[in-house]
Amino acid sequence: MNRQRQLRWSISLLLTGVCVMCLASCKTVLGDEQERCVVVWSEGSAPKEVYPHDINGAVAEGLAGLIGWEVVRAGIEDPDQGLPDELLNRADVLIWWGHKRHRDVQDALVDKIEKRVKEEGMGFIALHSAHASRPNKRLMASRCSFKAYVLDSTTLKITVTDKEHPIAMGVAPEFTINHDERYSDPYQVPEPESIVFDGVAKLKGGGVDPSHQGYCWTVGKGRVFYFMVGHETNPVFYDKNIRKIMANAVKWAAPSRKGKGQHTDDGAVGAIGIGSLPPKGADVLIDGTRRLLDEQWTYWEGPRFSSSLPIKWKIVDDPVDPGKVLVSHDPAADGGKYGAADIVTKKKYRDFRLHIEFLVPKKGGNSGVYLQNRYEIQVLDGDPGKHGMAAVINEAVGPYHAYNGTGKWNAYDINFRAARFKDGTLVEKALVSMYFNSVKAHTNHRIQKVWGGANSGIDGGNQNGEGITDVPGGLKLQCEGHEVLYRNAWIKELDIQEADTDF
């Protein structure tokens, strides 16, 4: 029976936690990439009335929606204390919750975890009282103690302090949870690379106690995240913001798909697909805040422009996940008037790597992602042709079968190389490669022209769209009288020397 518990939970685990399915196979393939693995470990000491399937069950349930991830429960009572070599060696991330049984964890297992993190790049996430766990102390090379541990708080208000950090993406800027136990600063550990979250505990006797809540380090080749939240008497791991933090932390801590032990800077954090997080040096373009919208974007004032600043597009609740998103709504574009209220980044780009996620709420919904404010990658529900979803518009059909459908999030991952000129003459046309929901859509497609005329973008009115000029352009999103939602958009400037955008 213990061996059966070690098998993988179904990714379709219901949110109530009552439907737990064991799968015999754990080697599914996404495109050319093997499924990743996150192991959620706990000691089984949480009260059943709060966590019927223990804390690892609640955390695993919250991670069930991670696309391309195998989520495995493990516990101290399982064979090999839940981490046989086969499982530990293929784990990309290990999440650890412990409280009363730290000393029961064997030396040999701690040695193996340390090696996997430091030498092989496995991510490690410690939760609440796991600060005192033997693996965490080993990785921190510290006592990992706090000033005080007191069961005298009622609520904990959590605030995002590092708004640009991938673990904070899509998390409410401030939220409050019930939490009985507080740990008081200082936390005796090495200086962290980032404090992602702070908190303020409200005390039963009056007063408050501020403290840091989320710490990040690089330890050897691996990434480590400590999250102070998670006392076993509070069902915090069912909270939507906590679950978003956990999912983000898993993707941040994981080594690149390009190889274990690597955290590269070219899309390594999540690589491709829904939830991909911005790599180091990327410009975050959409994070669900009005501040970033006004800071990074403006209207494209083309021939048909008929709106006015400030941008009329709205920030609304994400209909699927926690957080806020951007919606392409501007009355100026009603009736399909593209170019009347399109928005474009203030910064202009040549070569770049782009990630952007979108959701079409209703059938027939239409927008578009314009590379360099010239070349449209179509967003159009219901059309599988050259003018349809994921197409390089009017030139190359996208893989419509990869589309998740209305009411669901989708992702474009794009490598783009701008047109090349010599002495003012066009010598190489723009080049694009793209994945649509982790499915290869286009490989080194040479874009022939700007389609749609002068109202479509830069150079649209030059020689019927073929008169491309040597001028960089921003990323543009089309408003065409339809509401299309956007989130998690980032772009990283590249310098692609050779005529090859494949990735």
d(CA 175, CA 240): 10
Cα of 65 vs its chain's centroid, Å? 12
d(CA 496, CA 433): 12
- What pTM was estimated for this model as a whole? 0.60
d(CA 124, CA 144): 15
b/e sequence 230-268, b meaning 16+ C-beta within 10 Å: bbbebbbbbbebbbbbbbbbbbbbbbbbeebbebeebbb
d(CA 245, CA 401): 30
The set of residues, in sequence order, having a beta carbon less than 8 Å from that of 231 and lying 6+ positions away, is 128, 129, 179, 180, 181
b/e sequence 445-471, b meaning 16+ C-beta within 10 Å: bebbbbbbbbbbbbbbbeeebeebeee
The predicted pLDDT at position 502 comes to 85
Residue carrying structure tokens 């039963």:
204
d(CA 480, CA 369): 12
Residue carrying structure tokens 């906590």:
242
d(CA 69, CA 87): 14
The predicted pLDDT at position 170 comes to 83
DSSP letters of 412-477? Answer: EEEEEE--EEETTEEEE--EEEEEETTEEEEEEEEP----S-TTTSTTTTSGGGT---S--B--EE
d(CA 357, CA 354): 10
Which of 480, 499, 477, 481 shows the shortest CA–CA distance to 489? 477
Amino acid sitting at position 451: W
Query: Which stretch of DSSP H or E encloses residue 490?
Result: strand 485-494
Cα distances (angstroms) measured from residue 107 to each of 43, 81, 134, 135, 370: 16, 11, 9, 9, 55
d(CA 386, CA 104): 61
3-state secondary structure of 495: coil
**Quick one: CA dihedral 12, 67, 118, 279, positive or negative?**
negative
Which of 98, 20, 25, 90 shows the shortest CA–CA distance to 57? 20
Both tokens assigned to 236: 């915090």
The predicted pLDDT at position 293 comes to 97
Query: CB of 357 within 8 A of CB of 366?
Result: no
Query: CB of 446 within 8 A of CB of 416?
Result: no
Q: Where are the beta strands (DSSP E) in 251-339?
A: 283-286, 297-299, 314-317, 324-327
Q: How big is the CA angle at 443 (ends 441 and 446), to the nearest 5 degrees? A: 115
d(CA 304, CA 339): 6
The predicted pLDDT at position 34 comes to 57
Query: CB of 330 within 8 A of CB of 313?
Result: yes
Query: CB of 306 within 8 A of CB of 345?
Result: no
Both tokens assigned to 59: 């955390």
**Quick one: CA dihedral 344, 345, 351, 352, positive or negative?**
negative
Domains in the chain, CATH or no CATH each: 2-145+212-253 (3.40.50.880), 283-494 (2.60.120.560)
Query: Angle between the 54-62 and 240-253 helix axes, to the nearest 10 degrees?
Result: 80
3-state secondary structure of 93: strand
The predicted pLDDT at position 24 comes to 31
pLDDT in tens, the chain (503 residues): 444 444 444 333 333 333 333 333 333 333 334 578 999 999 999 999 999 999 999 999 999 888 778 999 999 999 999 999 999 999 999 999 999 999 999 999 999 999 999 999 999 999 999 999 999 999 999 999 998 888 889 999 999 999 888 898 889 999 999 998 899 899 999 999 999 999 999 999 899 999 999 999 999 989 999 999 999 999 999 999 999 999 999 988 998 654 444 444 333 344 688 888 888 789 999 999 999 999 999 999 999 999 999 999 999 999 998 889 999 989 999 988 999 999 999 999 999 999 999 999 999 999 999 999 999 999 999 999 999 999 999 999 999 999 999 999 999 999 999 999 999 999 999 999 999 998 889 989 999 999 999 999 999 999 999 999 999 999 999 999 899 999 999 999 999 998 889 87
Amino acid sitting at position 271: A
